[in-house]
């Protein structure tokens, strides 16, 4: 997963607004949004909603997994 894709899914987990205020003109952004929709992590809302896309429970589960990654630690070892 790219940093942009992580940024997009994180955005939808906390913001009531669309990513980039709904400006999906960049092809890489459109591709990422489509990938998330194809994988049931984002869903397109109907016209009555302010936000064009919303995060799904599967998408939120993935965000929680990202947030639960532990900090890396340095380890030492004796060479054999």
CA-based diameter of the chain, in Å?
Answer: 65
- Under CATH, to which class is 3-67 assigned? mainly alpha
Domain ranges of the chain: 3-67
Secondary structure string (H, E, C) spanning 29-60: HHHHHHHHHHCCCEEECCCCCCCCEEECHHHH
pLDDT computed for residue 47 by the predictor: 85
pLDDT computed for residue 48 by the predictor: 85
User: What pTM, to 2 d.p., does this model score?
Assistant: 0.86
Q: Which residues of the chain have pLDDT under 50?
A: none
């Amino acid at each position: 997963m790219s940093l942009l894709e992580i940024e997009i899914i994180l955005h939808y987990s906390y913001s009531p607004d669309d990513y980039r205020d709904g400006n999906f003109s960049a092809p890489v952004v459109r591709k990422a949004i489509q990938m998330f929709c194809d994988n049931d992590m984002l869903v397109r809302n109907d016209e009555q909603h302010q936000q064009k896309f919303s995060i799904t429970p599967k998408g939120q589960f993935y965000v929680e997994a990202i947030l639960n990654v532990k900090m890396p630690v340095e380890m030492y070892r004796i060479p054999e």
